[in-house]
Structure formats: structure tokens, C-alpha cells
Structure 1
């Protein structure tokens, strides 16, 4: 048996492993990185619908052009049948009137920074794994880890044993093996299921299904259609191939006492929009199933190991967050190892923030999914199930209560300095809540004109920012489970609120600051987002809103129809 030594050994050649490996080699070419993949690529995999945040990471990895050249459909948004009304509605990443017909392949600039891909994972994952190899990673396919040597007392992985008979020794080990969690299981890391969302997924691939929408050159929307007892996804992956799946609660699946094939076919036949799109299409004829249970690992990092991607946790796919969580965790794991090598930051601080970041994001997306299921009036056969989800989560379904519940730290976690969860800013979120509840969704800052910074009981802590291969420290305020990062719009607001509490002066100072940073056509958009950040700060208790009866009040309302969220057209 031969022994081989590496700096980093990565178990899993999917997007988690290839992203980690590529970024390690990009920023430190001297690292010896091994990626072990038990299967032979290409191979199919679910998780095809992306969010725009991934595109920035693909560009950083240097593989945007390769992915774009594959001619995957451009995801400009989603069409839903979801909420109290059965009427269709759209969520777009950018106003459609701004989406221009552009030739492909295109560069990562302009409107392509606001859109995402719908990817055929058999092609996408192969592109990323080959790209990691092109960047200097040693990649071995059809190579399984058969045994892991660990020292639980020191919390260390010692070595990996392969089906080839080799023993692999490394200074760092990455578990990018997906829900199987090769290292997680051997290390005895427990997982929790912080939700009633325990679903099963049934899917197949279809040839020559029609696209529901054709927007510009290569643009379309994913279709998410509710049924009485679950929902259907419809994701075009290319000119002729489409992924179509059905999700329902595992408990309901057991009660049906039917074969997965029968449940799947009945679901598709019962949805008129999907039935029409596949009228002239042919299925592959190979039904696949999996558990779709949200979970979270209790520990994500150890002395010399990291859990990355789905080995760390999983959130229900209703909001297509899975691949984003995977790519972001892979980037942050790579950056953490790069900084450990630099020895300029406290190792404990680096590792703790890696773990905290992933846990916060996964928990928040699980909470978001809880809300979507609990508020869906189209689940007519699952109403008790929906009520139980809300009860267990402590969720009240009025727009105001739901917004406060969702914004408990959530709007400050996805992208530091901005207010966003899974592509939804507070305005979009309030519009969704109006549709779900069929009630107006008010603004906590509306009707007030005095906004006082409230840092009582807050502590200052350093937060990591991951940029250009390095981790930089920024200040933040922390209070209980809430954190306020002093960067982006939040930093600008804190600075202004330290000078004045009057909304007219706040607005004037904001506009002056933003005018110096943004072009004229983007200044108003930035100002609107800054007000949304102020809404989050009030909702989370960082700012107290009051009224001076002698001064005009801030007046905001939530439109039913907007540029991004509106009735389907």
C-alpha cells in the first residue's frame, strides 16, 4: 500500500469540491490539492436552478466563459402558482423591459450580473471538475474513500484509504461528499432537523418539452406549480432537455401507498400548465426519488477538516438556494484555508466564522421555506400539515408578523451590507407576503420621521469579508442573535444616524453619499435599497422609530404589482 501526501484532500467532485479546489489553486498555486470523486462524470444530479450570486463565484473561479459556452438557459426568474390565489405570478431578477436581446456567449457584465443559469448538472459539474483540474488540482474519478482514520480526542482526520489501496495523508480535509457526509459520519457529527419539512422528491428528464416563456436570447423562467398535495418543478436545461419533478411530504407519500411512478404521472396530469408543455415531449422513462429533508450539522469545522456544501446542511429546494449555499460555503472554506496558511488571523476566529456563516444561512433558508409552505393556500390536502409547520416554527402568517419573524438576522446574512434573502429584498418579500395573505403588507418605517440608533446592549465584533483571495476584517455590532455589519448600506446608515435622527436630513445625506458612488440611473435604486436596509434595522431593533408631530412623516406602501413581482404575463 502506497502513501501519498497532499496539502488539501477533497472528498467529492461536485460543485462544492471543484469550487473549493479551484479557488485554492487560483490564490495559492503551490498548494497540492487532490479531489476524489467516487463516480464517473458526466452523471445526472438534481439541483439545477441557480441564483445570481453563483455567477459572481463562477467569474471569480475563471470558468464563467466555459459555463456560458455550454448555452444553458438564462434564468431571469420564476413563475409561481403559490399562495391563496391559484392565479400565476412572476418573480423576476430584473425588470423584463431592461432585459436586452444580446448574442451568446456573453461576458459576465451588465444584465448577466443580475441573472442566473438553469444547468444540466451532468454537463455543469463536468465543466467545473475539469476546470479544477486545468487549474492544477489532481482529480481522480471512480475513486472511493473506503476508510477514514480519525483521532476524535484531537478532532483530527489522520488519513484516507482509497479503493485503489492507497493511503492519502493531507494537512486539511474537505468533506464535499453531499448529504452522504463521508467525514461527517466518521467524525460522529450529529445533525438536527429544525423543521417539519420532511419531503420526498420524484423526478425524470424530458426531451422536447416546450418552454413556458422565451425571453430574449436564451432567457426563460422556472415553473413552480402547486397542487393539492405538493408542487411541481419545471426547469429547462437546454434547447431540448427539461427537468420535471414533484415534491410532497413524506408522510403524505406513505399514505398514498402508490408507486413513485404512478404518483409522478398523476401529478403531471393534474397540472394543466405542465401537461400542455409536455404534450409533445418524451420522458427518459427512468424515475428517480430522494429524501428532501432539511437538516443542519451541529459542527462544520474541526482541527483540520471542513464540511462544505450539502454535507454541512440542506434547505428545502422551493427557493432554489441549495447550489448557492454550496458555492458560497466552498468559497469561504477555500478562503479560510488560504488565511490559515497566511497565519495573519487567529485560526479560531477564522474557523468559528466559517461555521457561523454557514449555519446562519442554512437556518435562514430553512425558515424561509417554512414560511412558503405554511402560507400556501393551494395545498388543500395539506392544510393541517401547513398549520403544524407554522406552529412548530412559531410563525404567525400576517404580513407584518411574518416579516419580523423572517428578518431575525436573515436580511444581513446573505450578502454583507445589503438586505436580501435568497434573491428577495424586503420590498419583494413584502409583495410576496401580500400575495400569500391577500392583505396589505405595511412598512415599519412608514408613518415615522425620527429614527434613533439603538446600540444598547450591543458589542462590537470583527466579521470576515471574503474578497480577492483574502479575508479582511470589518466591524459589526452584535446583540443576541442579531448582527449589524458595518459595511455597504448598513455602514452608511449608521454613520448618518450618528449625525442626525431626522428623516429629511437622513434622506438628504443618503442621496449626497449615493450620488458620489453611483451613476445617475442607479442612484434612485440604491436609495430605495438603503431605505429597505433602514426597515430591516428598525425590524431588528437597531433603530427606534418615533414621531415628531411638527414634521412630515415618511410614507411608504407595498405595491401589489411591481417591476420584479407581478401577475404572470
Structure 2
């Protein structure tokens, strides 16, 4: 419990501004793990209400299951997202990114349980329905939900919030406050927190909803991929939200949009006519006829916490929609805020460690996704009207687009911190990032793995200090040992921990693979051993990229040869 606070001296333990997915996630998890807590959610609108941002990533499904709301979301019969189809890069040929290979997606009836293949899929959601399900669930968990309730003012003393003044003149007080108000950032602005915005990554979106558009493809029962299609001046999304309703939008750079001299409706209609594949899907469809617009400016808040408040969702930051990470960042950051408050109340971990961990982890997550988005735009040779923009974007970020340099630029510090113990960024594992770097390379030359062709891998922890990172499970934050060297982190956990343990026994490549396979076979069932072993090798590569492993070739020893390509990325 916060020092000097008594529960009876406040109206609530936690006051949440905003009832979208981030706010509902915080409230639900607080009540799940600490039912005694008095939680209020203040939402300015009445639900259901429309909202953009419909495409999810698989991590959200895990959080929905933890919240206890998976069954309700699955029962809504949203399309199952198995990945995405892109026209992007140097070649106009469409290519697929799959969460799981489509031929391995089993035909099973719906609604289904959160098990088996559904652990690796995501949803494409109608936000009016989805957000309402989550907010109702939060209420069912015991949160006091007040819709149509506008917060007019934030009362503060220094960096501490004293209360929230509502539109009716009343005041709500709490021990902790959560800003889940979206890009409005009501508490963020009131507390004087600035943002770090990439001035060159300032896009705008235009979209409408369509009835009876054809799906680009149907996989199994209810499965499909979203479509991401490049145009010379931007890109189009095509996201089925149900049997008949589809979200179709255009994203382009804000300055280029201004220079075109078109209204949003004119540009939207032009884009749909220019993209012939999408035009075919909507030939017999009907639009609602109201083109919406919004800014897609990527940013991250300078800090995500204060004396008694936290920022989550778009109040904390926003990464360009090309990676469909918005909802994932919102759910994950909100979960983290709930866990942090629970641990602050328990008082078992140092308060400042908890706050710094929350701030660093979630700011880094947004920053990594922004960085990845910069790479995507810089590497898209199909946006011919934006060549200067793409070149300037790459130059301003210090990005060179040959495969080797691009991969190193993307991966710096990202693979060891994004998903604890697992080498990945967003929904791309390290192998997929390698393949993307080769696909997008300017000169067409392939980039080999850093560990490829080497026979000696020497663990390099000289100068490192030991500290801790957090592992969030079952309502608790467990402190996990971690090595720190400059800005680089090496969590001694899961696949990274396994790789470090083996490297402490041997530096020989062949022996490393033998010992790692032995360890994997003791931890994982046979059907998962191959996947787990590939993650260990990816962890080794990530460690080499960050300097935790020194690679050498000894002619007397057999080298490690990397010939595996991502199973997740395929040409059409």
C-alpha cells in the first residue's frame, strides 16, 4: 500500500480514466488477483462505440485468457487471424506472414477453447463489440464502471494526483490513478509529461466500413489473413471483422497527403480504384459512406509513471499501424500496470525497482516497434511517390538498407528485451527478421546469420553487472537474474538462460548443439523439441548480435551452418 495512504481516506483504491481495452484490462486483472480492491473506470463515452484498430497479434489471446474473457470474445465469432498478406519491399509479388502454417491449421468447430492451435492465432475484431465485451467483463469482475462520465480536471500537488474533477462537479479520489484515455493523454498532459515523437513518421489514416466484401481467402473455419497492399503513395489495409463487415483503410504520410490537394473522400476512392486486387473484393460490396480520418503519429511518453499514477495504452505511446501492434501494446502495458500496483501493495519488492522496471520495459516496447516501423517504410521500394521520404527517414535514423546493416540496426538490444526469454520483436521471431532483411535488401544480396560458419562461441560477460528484470505470472512479478552491459540486457531466463548454461559448459559449436538438445529434451515434449531448439539457436544469435557471445572459426572443429528459413514467411 502506498506510504501514508489509508484505504478509508479515498473513494477508491484505483481510478482508471478510459474504458477501452487498456482500462478494462487493468481493472479486470486488479480485481482478479486482489478482489478487495475498489476500482472505478471512468469512460467519457457510452458503449458500444466505434473505434479503429481492429487487427490483433497472438499475445493478446493469452492476456484475454488470463482476464477470463476469452470465451466471450471467441463467442462473438470474430474472424481468426492467421497472419497477413503483403505487397511490400522491392518486389510487387504478394507474400504471406503466418502465425502458424495454414496447412497445419486444423478444421475445428467454433466457439473453441484457448488451447492447441488457438494459442498461436489472433482475432480481427469489430471494436464496438470487442471493447463493449471487455468493459462489461470488467464490471462483472467488480469494477465500478461509469460510462458517459467526463473527467474535467486533474487535481495535483507536485507529481502527486489528489483527485479527479468530473463534469458534474464531483471529485473522485484514489490511491492510484491510471491514464487509459488514449492519445488524449488526459493525465499525461495534466502532469506535464512530454512525448518523444518521430517527426518523419507522421502518417494519417482514412477508412470506412463495408458490407458484403469478399474475403481474400478463407482458411479452415473462420480463419483468414489481413491484407496489406502497397500503393505509390501509401498502403491499404483490408480487415474482415465478421461474416459481412470489413474495415478498409488507407495510410499515407501526412505531408504528402497535404501536397496531393485531395479531400479524404477523394483520396480514399482513388486508393481503392488504384489497388485492383482490393477493388475486386469490393466489387459487389456497399460502403457505409462515411470516410473517417485520424493521425497516426508515432510517439512515446517521456515517462510512464509518477508518484501515484501510471500511463497505459496510447496515453503511454503509439507505434505506426503497419505492424498491427497497437492493441497488443495496450493490453500488455495495462497488464503490467496492474501487476505493478499489486506488487506495490504487497511491498515485497523495492518500490523504485518496480516503477523503473515498468517504465523502462514499456517505453522500450513502444520504441522497438517504432524503430521496426521505420525500417518497414524505409525498405518499401513500391511506394514510388515517397522515395525521398523513405530515403530521408532511413538517413535520419542512421539506417543503411543492405541486409547485414539493416538487420543489425533493427536487432540492437531488441531481441533480448521485448519478450522475456524469447528472441522476438512483436510477432516476428529472429529467423523471420533475418528473412525480412534479405527480402527488403536494396542490392538483393543475402545476409547470413552472425553465428553461421563459426565453430567456437565464447560467452562474453566481462564488465557485466548482475541485476534483475521482471517475469509476470499469475498476478506476481518474479525477479529474474539479468546481466547488464551498457544498454544491453541478457535475462538468464528460458531460452537465453538455457543457452548461457550450455555456454558455461562448452564453447565448441558441435558440443553446444548436443548439450542444448539434451537440455531441451528434458524440458519439452518430443513434439515441441524442434521448435524449442530453434529458439535456443535464435537466442545464441541474439547474444552474438549484442556482444554477449564472441564467434570464432577453428578449422579443426566443425562449424555451425545455418540454412533454415522462416516457416512463417512465404511467397504467393
Aligned length: 562
1:421 has 2:425 as partner:
yes
**One of 535, 541, 559 as aligned partner of 1:535:** 541
For the residues of structure 2 that align with 1:533 and 1:403, how far apart are their CA atoms? 15
Which of 116, 122, 126 aligns to 2:122? It is 116
Q: Does 1:505 align with 2:511?
A: yes
Q: Residues 11-34 of structure 1, C-alpha deviation per residue, up to 9 Å, x if partnerless? A: 000000000000000000000000
By how many angstroms is 1:164 displaced?
2.5
Kept after mapping to 1: 8 A contact 2:10/2:175: no
Q: Which runs of 5+ in 2 are unaligned?
A: 1-8
Cα distance in 1, alignment partners of residues 188 and 503 from structure 2: 45
Decide which of 333, 345, 348 is 1:329's aligned counterpart: 333
TM-score, reference length from structure 1: 0.98
Q: Distance in 2 between matches of 1:316 and 1:557?
A: 32
1:496 and 2:496 correspond: no
Per the alignment, residue 61 of structure 1 pairs with: 67
Q: CA RMSD in A?
A: 1.0
- How far has the Cα of 1:558 moved from its partner? 5.2
Residue of structure 2 equivalent to 1:473: 479
Structure 1 segments unaligned to the other structure (5+ residues):
none
- In structure 2, what is the equivalent of residue 228 of structure 1? 232
Shift of 1:557: 3.0
Residue of structure 2 equivalent to 1:271: 275
**How far apart, CA to CA, are the structure 1 residues paired with 2:168 and 2:214?**
45
Asked if the contact 2:235/2:252 (under 8 Å) is kept, the reply is yes
Structure 1 distance, partners of 2:231, 2:205, is 14
Moved more, 107-116 or 187-196: 187-196
* Mapped partners of 1:252, 1:558: distance in 2: 40
Question: Does 2:468 match 1:462?
Answer: yes
- CA distance in 2 between partners of 1:68 and 1:164 (Å): 38
Q: In the alignment, does 2:21 pair up with 1:5?
A: no
Secondary structure of the equivalent of 2:424? Answer: coil
Q: Distance in 2 between matches of 1:472 and 1:525?
A: 26
* Partner secondary structure for residue 271 of structure 2: helix
CA distance in 1, matches of 2:259, 2:511: 61
Q: Which residue in the other structure is 1:281 paired with?
A: 285
Q: Partners in 1 of 2:185 and 2:564 — Cα distance? A: 43
Q: 161-170 or 219-228: which moved more?
A: 161-170
Question: SS where residue 540 of structure 2 aligns?
Answer: helix
Equivalence for 2:25: 19
For 1:173, which of 168, 171, 177 is the aligned residue? Answer: 177
1:342 maps to which residue?
Answer: 346
Corresponding position: 1:127 with 2:133: yes
Please tell me whether residue 206 in structure 1 is matched to residue 210 in structure 2: yes
- Match in the other structure for 2:4: none
Aligned to 2:154: 148
DSSP-derived class of the 1:412 partner: coil
Within 5 Å, give how 1:69-80 maps onto structure 2: 69-80=75-86
What is the Cα deviation at residue 195 of structure 1? 5.3
SS at match of 2:221: coil
**Aligned-pair distance for 1:4?**
6.8
Q: Is the 8 A contact 1:6 1:32 kept in 2?
A: yes
Alpha-carbon distance in structure 1 between the residues aligned to 2:390 and 2:293: 23
The 3 A distance-change label for structure 1 pair 195 and 512 is farther
Deviation at 1:86, TM superposition (A): 0.5
Q: Is the 8 A contact 1:195 1:366 kept in 2?
A: no
2:101 aligned to which of 74, 88, 95: 95
Secondary structure at the counterpart of residue 400 of structure 1: helix
Q: In the alignment, what sits opposite 2:3?
A: none
User: Residue in 1 aligned with 2:415?
Assistant: 411
CA apart distance, 1:439: 2.7
